[in-house]
Amino acid sequence: MCNGQIERPIGLKLRVAHTVRLILASIGRFIFSLYYGVEGEKIPPIYDDILKEPAITVAKKIRNKEITSVEVLEACIRRIKDVNSALNCFVEDRFEAALKEAREADDLVRSGTKTVTQLEEEKPFLGVPFTTKDCIAVKGLHQTAGVVLRKDVIAEEDSDVIMLLQKKGAIIIGLTNVPELCMWWETHNHIHGRTNNAYNTTRIVGGSSGGEGCCQSAGGSIFGIGSDIGGSIRMPAYFNGIFGHKPSRNIVSNNGQYPMPESDLLDSFLGIGPMTRHAVDLKPIMKIISGHNAKKLNLDTPVDVKKLRYFYQFSTDAPLTDPVDPEIIAAMKKVTEFFKKQYQIDAEEKKIPLMRKSMAIWFANMKSTKRFGEFIMNNDSIGSILFEMLKNMIGLSGNTFIGLFTSLFDYGGVDIGSERYKHYLQLREDLERTFSEMLGDDGVFFFPSHPTTAPYHNEPLLRPFNFSYTAIINCLGLPSTTVPLGLSREGLPIGIQVIANHNQDRLCFAVAEELNQAFGGWVEPQKA
């Protein structure tokens, strides 16, 4: 009786807050549309066809002497220079070192000391240029994570992921933009500025791998590497119309990522993974970056999509998040109809009650003993944060407004070790169990990557909890791939997540490849 009396007013308050937020978000959308207009700056089309090819095809052509690594790299450099003034996705290069490595790769191919088969086995990405975000260490380049206090930090060693890719012949050519400390879903910081969407530069690219998602959609490199603790690969992949994969927990090494999670629990939420224009590139890249853990994924075991079980859920119905756009729901229905028509498979709709608590579970489980402000400020006291907010309003702060707000917000929430904290840890375990039992070793779950298409710049401030659709999957440690499914009426990418059980990443890849063929995958922005 007492609990019921307590929870009814709380539910009422949430409903009121949810309604008020939706009204404010609608007003904000109208204001932003007037301010930014309908279209932004157009980017030039991709002139070098090699940039439209899958990474595995590029690698094959280099091995077979159909094209040189230098030619591919020069095409990437031209493309970055063509679009970066409009997009601001690429923030630091190592072009000279990369050109040297590309020449060495070409010399190895021409020397004939290794057969094409040997090159494919030993260095499957020989001479293929790639990029990564500015929080994953690349020796000799900055590693700022968008934090002004780190603007002069130079990485002394490559991260594990970069080393693994280089050993297999891939060539890192530079860094892409991120939000401040990589903890917001719009890419903007006070070192490099804001990144713009290639499909419409008035819209966001997502975060925190937003610069990488944008670079891939625009054809700036052959493939990219991102990291994801609340959707930081999958949201940018979604907003930029590409494929992005968050691996199963504890598969890909996070060594060399900044900031590093302080506990094993938080480390299990963070995943480094591939971002590509073509689904066929996901598996071979994962095979490399997983290192010795690749054997746990059985990536070479064939997957028959006709024998999988399919589930879907249209929405979490979580408070304080937007309703899922009808175009996204329609796209998901087209996916289920495709499997019905093509393979006579009926996907089963689910309504998992605990998904309503996605945000509460994520925030509680993400609680850290080190506050957000300690990473971005010299003094993170409440008074200092409020003073910095005042400075931000007149353009004198090195911190972004959302970074400061997050620092202030971090003073609240549950306390580690408290009963509420333990309660949300238990809810996470309960939800993970629900998914594991449902999916087994042959199930996939279709779910929105985000409830809307890419918002206008700054608009996420009015829709702060919409990232719940990706964040909850991090808590559960499940592999998830964002799959593009065409464009909205406004010409913006839409798509869904394909989620599988722990260490069943290959199911995500197989379904992603199937949907890539069926729905066309990435669409060049200029042709949108």
- Looking at 268-420, which runs of residues are DSSP E strands? 271-276, 309-312, 348-349
Cα dihedral 399, 403, 409, 410 sign: negative
Tell me the C-alpha distance between 58 and 54, whole Å: 6
Tell me the C-alpha distance between 283 and 287, whole Å: 6
Cα dihedral 257, 366, 479, 462 sign: negative
- Of 118, 183, 110, 514, the C-alpha closest to 372 is 183
Tell me if residue 340 is catalytic: no
Virtual CA dihedral for 49, 53, 55, 56, nearest 10 degrees? -120
Taking only Cα atoms into account, the Rg of the chain, rounded to an integer number of angstroms, comes to: 22
Tell me the C-alpha distance between 197 and 39, whole Å: 11
**Which of 133, 168, 357, 367 is the catalytic position?**
133
Pairing mode of beta strands 193-194, 223-228:
unpaired
Tell me the DSSP string of 472-498.
Answer: HHHHHT--EEEEEEEE-TTS-EEEEEE
**Which of 69, 208, 227, 480 is the catalytic position?**
208
- Of 382, 499, 355, the C-alpha closest to 440 is 499
- In the chain the first and final C-alpha atoms are separated, in Å, by 57
- Which residue in this structure is represented by tokens 């066929």? 280
Cβ(217)–Cβ(198) below 8 Å: yes
Tell me if residue 208 is catalytic: yes
Tell me the C-alpha distance between 219 and 482, whole Å: 18
Tell me the C-alpha distance between 166 and 407, whole Å: 37
The tokens describing 453, both together, are: 């298409």
DSSP 371: -
Pairing mode of beta strands 243-246, 480-487:
antiparallel
At residue 490, what is the residue type?
E
Tell me if residue 333 is catalytic: no
Tell me the DSSP string of 253-273.
Answer: --TTBSSPPSSHHHHHH-EEE
Beta bridge partners of 311: 348, 445
Tell me the C-alpha distance between 200 and 186, whole Å: 15
Beta bridge partners of 274: 225
- Which residue in this structure is represented by tokens 């690219």? 205
Cβ(184)–Cβ(203) below 8 Å: no
**Which of 69, 159, 232, 248 is the catalytic position?**
232
Long-range contacts of 81-85 (CB under 8 A, 24+ apart): 82/43, 82/44, 83/43, 83/44, 83/198, 83/218, 83/220, 84/220
358: number of CA atoms within 13 Å, CB side? 23
The catalytic site residues sit at 133, 208, 232
